[in-house]
Structure 1
């Protein structure tokens, strides 16, 4: 693999793709409103005159090109990852200076990905065992031409390193700078699962809220997941403890 030009671009069309997010983040009214995204800057300006904290809610809209903004029902789930960014929250394909929308090909993939990151946080902060956090399932469609690492995993091992994001962030920065819409890659946390890292919100559509989920932390790992609606509890298997 000599460079990013050697990475093929594949059309990824997923129905029923899943993203799981913390329930602590409420929808953003502006993105959910029926107003055309082209009118958002004027609406924000008017709202700021009576609500100076509006920008804390909306985030930095300038981080999303005008032509790639999305609005309407559920748009918060697509826009928020791009307007609320921070170098304090880097991830596999960004150092935190720009947003990425991560989506799994199925519920189990999204679940295992989020369980891993939640467990690392819980271990780092030495949280006590118990039912600790609430999450919500977002089901959506993905339709985009993405740089595809799924068949090149053996040659691009550094970008899929389980413990370091250095190579993957460098790769993503190159691809995004060259005009890429995002990356398709094999899930690092769920065998046989696939993920996408989308660089723009319009690469996904039709986001719908699904189940509310509770994660149980046993002091070493997330061992149980509860469907808050039905009360059903499921044991998580085949995940190592976080050391």
Structure 2
């Protein structure tokens, strides 16, 4: 399969969908009701926490806000976990060509996670997400056509074959791959193994996911339905 792969020269923004909050919460408000003491606690924290991200080439790369860089790019490379192209022994960063594809992908995993907690599938559950636009510049291994001959690349739940592919990509030092989306056939995903090909994370939008029975209602604007996904069938409606 690898002998027949081509390279996709990707130089574009990709969407990264992560857990977040629409409204931030003061982390110290459960310790005291005095706002002045909140500020004091924040000052103490600022004095002891590690320094923020600094670019290795500040003349070329203007240092951007460290939290966005960490949340949008570096997190999966610091916190390895099992996924489609990793058995948990190395980090992989996933992004999509559109916000809509990230919704289909993340909704599936969110719903499957809720099913693991007894009773959640029968409750109204709300989650909030943040989507970043991240610049990707790399020659990625193109697996879009390979899936026609190797359908396990798009298997909905068995990741064994994909993890073996990911292990080889990681071992050989390729920056990443481009593949078709499993959850949204019209979409495409990138799996990145080297954070050096990602840069310039920017806020794209905030999303709210609301589980109603077997449906997930997605809002871009609070109170206004954007996408509805029926988790009981393969298709989703907009």
TM-score for the superposition, normalised by structure 1? 0.73
Deviation, 1:238, is: 6.1
Aligned equivalents of 1:206, 1:31: Cα separation in 2: 20
Q: Residues 1-243 of structure 1: matches in 2 within 5 Å?
A: 1=1, 4-15=2-13, 17-23=14-20, 33=53, 35-37=54-56, 72-73=64-65, 74-76=68-70, 77-85=72-80, 89-126=81-118, 127=120, 128-222=122-216, 224-227=217-220, 230-237=222-229, 239-241=231-233
Give me the whole-angstrom Cα distance separating, in 1, the residues matched to 2:108 and 2:222: 24
- Coordinate RMSD, CA, aligned: 2.6
CA contact (8 A) 1:13 1:143 kept: yes
Aligned length: 200
| Worse-matched range after superposition: 127-136 or 157-166 | 127-136
What runs of 5+ residues in structure 1 fail to find an aligned partner?
39-69
| TM-score, normalised via structure 2 length | 0.75
Give the strand-richer structure, 1 or 2.
Answer: 2
* Bigger Cα Rg: 2
Q: Is residue 82–residue 101 contact of structure 1 (8 Å, CA) maintained in 2?
A: yes
Distance 2:103 2:197 in 1: 21
152 and 195 in structure 1: CA distance in 2 versus 1, 3 angstrom threshold:
same
Moved >4 Å (runs of 4+): 29-32
Contact 2:214 2:230 in 1 (8 A): no
